[in-house]
Amino acid sequence: MINRIHRRMFLRGVGGALVAAPYLQSVMERYAKGQTTTTPKSLVVMFTHYGCVTTKFFPAKSHGALVAGDLINSAAPLAPYVSKLLIPRGIRAMNEWTSGNTNGKNGRGQGNDPHLNVVGSYFTCQPVTPNGNDPFSFDMTTKFQAQPVGSSLDHIIAQQLAPQGTPLFMRVGNSGGSAGDNAQSGISYLKAASAAAGDKAAIYPGLGTPSQVFTALTGLFDKSQPMNPATYAATRGQRVTDMVKAHLQDFKRLDMSADDKNKVAAWEALCNSMGTVIATGSQCTSANATKLEATMTNVGKAGQGGVGKDAVTAMVTTDMDGADMYSAMAVLSVACNYNPVNFLKFPPNYVYSGLNIPEEAHALSHRLDNAGMSGSCYPNALNLLRTIDTYYATKFAKLVGMLDGIKNADGTSLLDNTATVWFQEMSDGNAHNLNNLPIVQAGSCGGYFKTGWTVNVDTANTGSATLTQGMSESQCADGTTSGMSNGVNQGTGTASTIANAPINKYFCNLMNALGVKADSTGFPAKGGTQPVTKYGYSDLTTDFCGGLGAQTGATIHNPGEFTALKP
């Protein structure tokens, strides 16, 4: 059952009501019980940096029905949910950095930076600009500031499906603080519709603390105090908004640059959206919020960092840490139908001191005490990495459990109507290889995906159950300083000739599952009526060499989704 509320009233309520209570109680307009509709579908993404020790993460078999016993080592926390998991294997992301990415035509992508290339292109499948042809250059603009030329998947989907038009993007641990992520770690990008093809998209910082999300959600799940529309308080928000619009109109009359005009137009559009009606999910209740321990007090504790503090692993309650509280916000967002696109991005360069890990995660991924790519093995590096891997798996399992723990009247759970996906920046963090990516999905998204399976979509060997688990332990295995780590030779990765099915296709799966539409070209387009068959600049990582337009024939060579992932 869907309850409909007027968006503007909801916003008004949140804006005007801040009272001390076990949870925020916003005053709401009267609501009407609406007609039953199909349960909306949602995407929940958890993203972590620097890959993992793949040999201790991937199940031994790469194709076939999964049982709990298949999920061992770092993946063990996922075992209780095995029947709801889908582990696609054989996939690669685009624009891989290698030491051979030279002269705009060699290698497997642009030569900008081992991380900037990756994160910039991961969810955009677009090259970054300006292009770098020297993989070891320290030029500021290419190594540190280049950004993709297109919007990322979260925005593409949100533009069609989210009431806000933007995703709920959360930076776990408030990484980056008031600045958000930079180009070497940002994965969410928004490009203005009016921008030229070669222009950069802007990094979308999203929200840094759970409380920033909580204040938006509480107006949705507490309906105990309907607002009397005959009161001034009920109309205050609209009056103020109308005044803001009038102020913006003053700017519109000025002779300004195109960029300035866009700013005004965007703000005005937001003001106009105040009248949009949204429908809340039937599970959008304060009871569920309480069940998730999403109280004012707990939410306020999470995301509060400081010098030397590990806000991600710091416990907020006896069984929830900071990261879990962000997950709880994502779950509430799904329950409340607040936003169908929810991203949880873990921090880059993080010191998980709460896990007794003394080195920052990026350096560790190189088995070093620094962020270089080669050198003497850091003592016990692999075990420390596995600790992080297991932690991430625990967090994902917790997220999945929260979603699965909220049941619909028909017996399905929130999880069943989501695609909850854990994406990792790369396969092996030392090798920076993007093939053989570790991806774990939970939830069938309303039956669109098969579950309880691992499916090998590698074009070289589709359906093979023996895809390699990688070579993560081939360096620094004994964890002593006698060994050497060499990330330049990609020895800890996976042979580049295998596990190269393009991630673009998986994104098409996700978009189609959620209901995103395409135009006749097959690319996502608002107002489209077709299924999505194409996404991004190219589905061949070598097409990214040299940047936008450098490779003749760069295109989507293999359109469509992975049918093998469907029931």
Partner 1 sequence: MRHSIRTSLVGFLLAGLVGCTGTVGGTGTGGTGTGTGNSTGTGTGNSTGTGTGNSTGTGTGNSTGTGTGGSAGTGTGGAAGTTPNPTITCAPGIPATTQLRRMMNWQYDATVRDLLGVTSVSNGTTSGPPSAMLYADFDGPMVPDAWRLYQDTAAAIAKAVMASTTQKANFISCDPAASGCLMTTITTFGRKAFRRPLTTDEVSRFVALGTGTPMGTPAEVAEATLLGFLVSPQFLMLPETGTTTDAATGAIQLSQYEIATRLSYMLWGSMPDATLSTAADMSQLGTKDQILAQAQRMIMDRTKTSTLISGFHDNWVQMNNAGQHWWKIDHDTSKFPLYNTTTSKTSFAQELDSFWSEVAYGNGGYQDLFLSTVGFVNKDNAQIYGLPATTSTTLTKTTLDANQRPGFMTRAGFLSSYSHYNETAPILRGAFVTVYMIGVDPGPPLAGATMLTAPAGNYATNRDKTDALVNMSATCMGCHTNIINPPGYVMETYDSIGKWQTTDQLGGAINGTATVNFGNGNTQTISSPLQLMQQLATIPKAQQNYAQDWVSYAYGRYPNANDQCTADAISAKIAAGTYPILTLLADLTQSDSFRLRVKATP
Which residues 501-530 are close enough to bind partner 1 by CB under 8 A? none
| Cα-based torsion angle of the residue sequence 267, 269, 274, 275 in order, rounded to the nearest 10 degrees | 160
From candidates 243, 277, 409, 460, binder to partner 1 by CB under 8 A: 243
Q: How far is the CB of 365 from partner 1 (least distance, A)?
A: 9
Determine contact, residues 54/431, Cβ cutoff 8 Å.
no
Q: Give the residue with the Cβ less far from partner 1, 45 or 203.
A: 203
Cα(339)–Cα(188) distance, integer angstroms: 16
Query: By the 8 A CB rule, do 403 and 45 touch?
Result: no
- In angstroms, give the least distance from the CB of 44 to partner 1: 17
Which residues in 31-72 belong to E strands, given as ranges?
Answer: 32-33, 42-48, 64-65
Structure tokens at 29: 């307009």
Residue 332 is inside which H or E element, if any? helix 322-335
- The encoded tokens of residue 244 equal 């803001």
Q: Which of 32, 38, 197, 255 binds partner 1 (CB under 8 A)?
A: 255
CB-CB contact of 73 with 383 (8 Å):
no
Which CB sits closer to partner 1, 161 or 442? Answer: 161
* Footprint (CB under 8 A) of partner 1, residues 478-497: 481, 484, 486-488
Give the one residue of 203, 328, 442, 498 binding partner 1; rule: CB under 8 A: 203
Q: Candidates 62-70, 260-268, 462-470, 511-519 — which segment interacts with partner 1 by CB under 8 A? A: 260-268
Compare residues 169 and 535 and give the one whose CB is closer to partner 1.
169
400 in Cβ contact with 380 (< 8 Å): no
Which of 64, 80, 205, 447 is in the footprint of partner 1 by CB under 8 A? 205
Token pair for 21: 């209570």
- Our CB check for partner 1 shows the closer of 312 and 419 to be 312
**The tokens of 487 are what?**
């990330």
Name residues contacting partner 1, limited to 134-153 (CB under 8 A): 135-141, 143-145
Helices (H), 100-231: 116-122, 140-143, 153-161, 210-221
The least CB distance from residue 517 to partner 1, in Å, is: 22
Nearer to partner 1, 347 or 547 (CB): 347
- Helix, strand or coil for residue 105? coil
Q: Is 164 in the site for partner 1 (CB under 8 A)?
A: yes
Q: Which stretch binds partner 1 (CB under 8 A): 367-375, 396-404, 411-419, 443-451?
A: 367-375
Number of CB atoms found within 10 A of residue 482's CB: 9
CA dist 458 and 87 (Å) reads 13
- When the beta carbons of 310 and 543 are compared against partner 1, the nearer one is 310
Cα torsion at 294, 298, 304, 308 (round to 10°)? -120
Cα angle: 546, vertex 548, 553; to 5 degrees: 90
Could you tell me the smallest distance in angstroms from the CB atom of residue 525 to partner 1? 21
Query: Does position 65 bind partner 1 by CB under 8 A?
Result: no
From candidates 293, 360, 428, 458, binder to partner 1 by CB under 8 A? 360
User: What track of x and - describes contact with partner 1 for positions 80 through 109 (by CB under 8 A)?
Assistant: -----------------x-x----------
Distance CA 509, CA 501 (A): 13
Residue 182 lies near partner 1 (rule: CB under 8 A): yes
CB of 381 to partner 1, least distance (A): 11
Sign of the alpha-carbon torsion through 321, 323, 326, 331: negative
Structure tokens at 224: 């105990």
Q: Which residue among 369, 389, 404, 428 contacts partner 1 (CB under 8 A)?
A: 369
Kindly tell me which residue out of 68, 179, 287, 460 binds partner 1, with binding defined by CB under 8 A. Answer: 179
Is 477 one of the binding residues for partner 1 (CB under 8 A)?
Answer: no
Q: Looking at beta carbons only, is 166 or 387 nearer to partner 1? A: 166
Select from 76, 265, 465, 477 the one that contacts partner 1 (CB under 8 A).
265
Beta strands in 314-370 (DSSP E): 341-345
Cβ-based nearer residue to partner 1, 260 or 409: 260
Instruction: Lay out the site mask for partner 1 across 211-240 (x = CB under 8 A, - = otherwise).
Output: xx-xxx-x-----------xxxxxxxx-xx
Q: Which long-range contacts (CB under 8 A, 24 or more apart) does 132-138 make?
A: 133/101, 133/102, 133/103, 133/104, 133/546, 134/102, 135/97, 135/98, 135/99, 135/100, 135/101, 135/102, 135/107, 135/111, 136/99, 137/111
Instruction: Find residue 423's DSSP bridge partners.
Output: 47, 439
AA identity, residue 157: I
Residues near partner 1 (CB under 8 A), total? 132
Site stretch for partner 1 (CB under 8 A), options 64-72, 170-178, 455-463, 549-557: 170-178
Of 6 and 63, the one with the shorter C-beta distance to partner 1 is 6
Q: Measured from the CB atom, is 110 or 175 closer to partner 1? A: 175
Shorter beta-carbon distance to partner 1: residue 76 or 202? 202
Tokens of 372: 């270089």
Q: Applying CB under 8 A, which part among 73-81, 199-207, 412-420, 501-509 lies near partner 1?
A: 199-207
Is residue 24 near partner 1 by the rule CB under 8 A? yes
Note whether 394 binds partner 1 by CB under 8 A: no
CA angle 67, 70, 71 (to 5 degrees): 105
Residues 331-350 that bind partner 1 (CB under 8 A): 347-350
Q: Which of 244, 477, 550, 564 binds partner 1 (CB under 8 A)?
A: 244
Which residue matches tokens 């891997």?
Answer: 389
The one among 43, 46, 296, 439 contacting partner 1 by CB under 8 A:
296
Which of residues 173 and 522 has its CB atom nearest to partner 1 in the complex?
173
Can the peptide bond before residue 130 be classed as cis, meaning omega within 30 degrees of 0? yes
> Is 20 a binder of partner 1 (CB under 8 A)?
yes
Contacts (CB under 8 A) with partner 1, residues 299-328 = 299-300, 304-312
Question: Mutual orientation of helices 232-252 and 7-16 as an angle, nearest 10°?
Answer: 100
